[in-house]
Amino acid sequence: MSKNITAEVLSCAVCNSTKSHQRKEPLQLHPVPDLPWSTVAADILDWHGKHYQVLVDSYPGWFKLDLLRDLTSSAVISKLKRHFSVHGTPHILITDNARQYTSQHFKDFAKQWDFTHTTSSPEFPQSNRLAERAVRSARQLMEKSHREGSDVFLNILNLRNIPRHPTLGSAAERLMSHQTRAAIPVSTILLEPATRNVKQVAAQLLNKRLTLKRCYDKSSHPLQSYIVQADGKNYRRNRRNMLPVAEPPSPQLVDDPDQQDNSPPTVDSSPPPQMPASHTVQPQHPSSPQPQSTTPSHIENQDTQYTTRSGRTCKPNPKYM
Residues shown for the chain: 321
Ordered domains of the chain (ranges, CATH): 39-219 (3.30.420.10)
The CA distance from 15 to 305, in Å, is 39
Report if pTM > 0.75. Answer: no
Confidence of residue 199 (pLDDT cuts 50, 70, 90): confident
The CA distance from 278 to 245, in Å, is 10
pLDDT greater than 90 at residue 227: no
292: alpha, beta or left, given left = phi > 0 and alpha = psi -120 to 50? beta
**pLDDT tens by residue, 259-272:** 444 444 443 434 44
Tell me 218's DSSP state: G
**pLDDT tens by residue, 142-157:** 999 999 999 999 999 9
- Judge whether 69 and 17 are in contact, CB under 8 Å: no
pLDDT greater than 90 at residue 100: yes
pLDDT at 318: 67
Chain Cα centroid distance, residue 1: 37
pLDDT greater than 90 at residue 12: no
**pLDDT tens by residue, 75-88:** 999 999 999 999 99
Q: To the nearest whole number, what is the mean pLDDT of the chain?
A: 76
